[in-house]
Structure 1
Amino acid sequence: MPKAKTELDLWMAEALASPGDAALSIPVPLHVLFGEAVDVARFHKAYWKPEVKDGKVVRRGLEMAANKKKGSLLTAKTGEEILSLQRAAVEAGTRYLLVVDPKKASPFERGQVVLDEITATLEWLFDDGVEDDNDAMLARLGKAHADDPATADALALALDDYAALAAPHREAMDGLGGFDAAMLDEARALAAALRAHPTEAAGLSERAREALGLRNKLIGLLLARVSAVRAAARFVFRDRPDIVREVTSAYGRRRRAEAARRAKKKAGAPEADAPIVDAPLPL
């Protein structure tokens, strides 16, 4: 009996054939991306068809912006494709983690896994709808390490920084989403190992690179479809900001609001308007 194909099997060929070198800059944490992808797929299903009453269109639909040309990412099946790609990317991510064996991995390989785990758990822990010092510190770290080169020294510094930020929250993080707080100790040990043997820890193994590259290419396909739905929504529902808000990234909105508040605080509070005083009436 032939083995049933997984979502990863279904997208493997297209992912491997997609352009690019498998390097990927992901605009949000992976757990946020995967969660929002489900929301976008749900939005696509709800708003694909226009709403018609008494023969009149009372609410436009995404299909009104669909390009009929072959290869268009916005079709009636885009929502289903988003869900399928999300599952495929999760499966590919699991395969990558299994390839990076903690007992056999170089400090660089293991360090990347540990850093991803700490970052994702902090993002989830701090994402409580309240912008506070924790969010600000996490944002500063993200900005500081956004353009880090793929070197042992850069990874070591990132591990130390994120472990230090996480330390006061060790108890709250332990067990959250399966996170093991022992990784915070491991992060510091890995940072020391990376600095002690930077040449030996300079990169991923070939198998790990291939697994990570496949995951990233799948995420690229997923992001393209999510972006297509969001772009179409902004156009089709340009007179309905309430609908557009349903499909935009809540994570992105919070980050933009936080950045605006920090910029305003840095610039200083505006001076209060001078009080309005009535001019004296002529005698």
Structure 2
Amino acid sequence: MAKKPSQSPYERWLDQAKAVAQAENPLRMPYDVFLKEAGQVAGFVAARWEPTASLPGLQRVKARLPASTADDILSLVHAAQTAQTTLLLLVDPVVIDHGERARFLIEELESAIEFLLDDGVDEPADTQLATIQAFHADSAQRSSALHQALSDYAGLAESLKDRLMEIDEAFDVALIKEARELARALAAAPAAPPPADSEVKEATRIRNGMLVLLMSKMGLVRKAAARVFQRHPEILREVTSTYERRRRAAARRAKAQQAPKPAAPAAPIADRTAAPEAH
């Protein structure tokens, strides 16, 4: 009897994804950043499962957090990637060819600029960076959004080019030119013929369902970690969202820069009751 082929990750989670499918994208961060953090959460489970001589392990809450969680998360990452590719082939096929490189360039430029400006000195570029980050925080991974993000980060990086090269000798200034060229290529790409609306809706719901399942697994890990490592904040930091920390920090900077400066104290009023000066 022929051996039954094993299921792909997409096939494994498809029925569950359909059960929790929704029309709205559940993410509050860029798709690729979310998948990267999912991989880090899976790695955290694997690294922190067994206790050590000085630290507890996640194993102690295995009744709530199964030992298979790390593998489940990685499987869901692959399933979500398949669902995302299926959707993009329908609505925005140009992203299949250029999206990965575009996201790499955006991340590299943002990271370099953020490192440069994280010096405790307020300047116009800080406001520009905070504005760009806020504007693109929830951008979908569509060619139009990637085109705008590439243009914005390349423009800011160009204005800071000399300082970026000075603060980081390994910074590749060619990334700025490449980002501009790729932005132009995305903008000039011909539009794909519109797919059937029903196909897009179904592919979108399945992709979103995969993301919901993945978010649930990641949330379970973070709750378990908060319980097990409640007295070890440095360990907890390993599993919390770096993106959310950066986003909150950017929001705080933007708010601080927009806050009105306190008015200068009024000049003291002369005491009219004082005795006249002797002549």
Q: TM-score, normalised by structure 2?
A: 0.65
- Listed as ranges, the matches of 1:1-283 within 5 Å are 2-18=4-20, 20-51=21-52, 53=53, 58-66=54-62, 68=63, 74-100=65-91, 102=93, 121-128=105-112, 130=115, 132=117, 137=128, 139-141=130-132, 143-144=134-135, 162=149, 164-165=151-152, 168=155, 172=175, 181-182=181-182, 184=184, 186-187=186-187, 205-267=197-259
Letter in 1 for 2:12: L
Are residues 270 and 186 of structure 1, via their aligned partners in 2, closer, same or farther at CA, if it must alter by over 3 Å? same
Unaligned runs of 5+ in 1: 103-109, 194-199, 272-283
Matched pairs, number: 236
Q: Percent identity?
A: 32
Checking the alignment, whether the CA contact within 8 Å between 1:118 and 1:166 is kept in structure 2 is no
Checking the alignment, whether the CA contact within 8 Å between 2:144 and 2:186 is kept in structure 1 is no
Letter in 2 for 1:187: A
State the distance in 1 between where 2:90 and 2:24 align. Answer: 18
Checking the alignment, whether the CA contact within 8 Å between 2:147 and 2:183 is kept in structure 1 is no
State the distance in 1 between where 2:200 and 2:241 align. Answer: 30
SS in structure 2 of the partner of residue 26 of structure 1: coil
Higher RCO (Cα < 8 Å, 6 or more apart)? 2
Letter in 2 for 1:99: L
Checking the alignment, whether the CA contact within 8 Å between 1:7 and 1:88 is kept in structure 2 is yes
Q: TM-score, normalised by structure 1?
A: 0.64
Unaligned runs of 5+ in 2: 118-123, 159-173, 264-279
Query: Cα distance, 1:235 vs. partner?
Result: 2.0
Worse-matched range after superposition: 164-173 or 220-229? 164-173
Checking the alignment, whether the CA contact within 8 Å between 2:130 and 2:251 is kept in structure 1 is no
Checking the alignment, whether the CA contact within 8 Å between 1:159 and 1:188 is kept in structure 2 is no
Are residues 43 and 33 of structure 1, via their aligned partners in 2, closer, same or farther at CA, if it must alter by over 3 Å? same
